Amino acid sequence: MQYYSLHKKAPKVSFSEAVVRGLAPDKGLYFPETITPLPDSFFENIENSDKVEIGYQTIKQFVGNEIPEADLKEILKDVLSFDFPVVDITENIGTLELFHGPTMAFKDVGARFMARCLGYFNRNNENKVTVLVATSGDTGGAVAQGFLGVKGVDVVILYPSGKVSDIQERQLTTLGQNITALEVDGVFDDCQDMVKKAFLDHSITDHMQLTSANSINIARWLPQLFYFVFAYKQLKTKGKEIVFSVPSGNFGNICAGIVANKLGLPVKHFVASTNVNDTVVRFMETEKYEPKASKATISNAMDVGNPSNFIRIQQLFDNNFTSLKDQFSAFSFDDDSTKEAMKEIYEKSNYIADPHGAVGYLGLKNYDLKNDEYGVFLETAHPVKFLDIVEDTLDLSVEIPPQIQKVMGKEKVSIKTNDYSKLKEFLLS
């Protein structure tokens, strides 16, 4: 498998090169040269396959022969060591829980897969790789936990000060070892811009190997397709067409779902559900892509004004707006609507949804499901990650799971910065 830059001004590279580079030299995102559909028999007989086999069959063409089958399956066995259940909310709506991993967020799978791949590629290499990543919430903790103690890898995480939840902040600032957190005076887009600038700064890259663990990195992005296939396996017996509603910030998760669809996964429609950061929603209305500064919301992991992965989604539909609109919709919801949705979900089913899941639920309601359709909204993080909002909105107490308890008493350690020069100084030191 070869990967090319979507800017088409850089040489094609292998999977390992794309993982290590993160971003192409021409600033473009890497994209697989081909996506070959799996045989129909794979989906027809999917109930006979376990998580590791499903993961292997769906990801192997993207990895190619760079990781042998036995090693790749061992990586997947480690990465997929927890469950991804679909829980019924109403007769025709369910939620796919993606928070049963070590940091209780959907990004655990991508972060762990990338960490294991990078560790495999770096196993005989004495040169260090620095993973540089921006986070709007859960990415930081998942990357920190996924890469903790990985040989030959240092991790530098940029996060916007005061704009991630207390638990999210603890998960990325309390681990130590090879993990460093930089607290940025700004919003997520400022963090992401600083990361992109560092990748293009030869005075840095000539002296050290940088890679990204944001969803711009193919090893972080592509494994997210597993979720959608796992959901299909559980829902196949319902005999209904599936509509996925994905809470979307940087649009990596829903983009991976569309890749699963290109592999042959039967999906009727994809709904991108966003908060007030509505760049893609406006694009779907006007066909004009006009990013704007992000706004802070209670669903902070989606506070992204210029989502990196939307260009990949457009490429998956051959940049054909009509084809895109046929299978993809986008809706935007404010904080008040999100809180009302959290209350509605709880009143209907006694289910506690976090703000991001609630936005996904609203997306399904806006889509207006038909009788022969079953809607799945992705619950991307455990409600405890947004403890104050959930407890205040629903007037209840949320039990603290063991994964979260272990970081609650630890001391936060971060380096405060407010501009790119401070980041550069830190990296070069």
Active site residue ranges: 107
| β pairing state of 328-332 and 269-274 | parallel
Ramachandran angles phi, psi of 154, nearest 5°: -105, 145
Q: How far is Cα 380 from Cα 402, in angstroms, rounded to an integer?
A: 18
Q: Which residue carries 């609650």 as its tokens?
A: 408
Looking at residue 254, its amino acid is I
CB 292 within 8 A of CB 279: yes
CB 89 within 8 A of CB 38: no
Q: How far is Cα 215 from Cα 133, in angstroms, rounded to an integer?
A: 10
Q: Helix or strand or coil: residue 205? A: helix
Radius of gyration of the chain (CA): 20
Q: How far is Cα 173 from Cα 140, in angstroms, rounded to an integer?
A: 9
* Count of CB atoms situated within 10 Å of the CB of 6: 18
- Which residues contact residue 419 at a Cβ distance below 8 angstroms, ignoring those fewer than 6 apart? none
Output the CA–CA distances (angstroms, integers) from residue 70 to 11, 146, 201, 318, 338, in the order listed.
30, 21, 38, 35, 44
Instruction: Indicate the Cα dihedral angle 253, 373, 361, 337, nearest 10°.
Output: 130
How many CA atoms within 13 Å lie on the side-chain side of 323? Answer: 9
Q: How far is Cα 236 from Cα 214, in angstroms, rounded to an integer?
A: 32
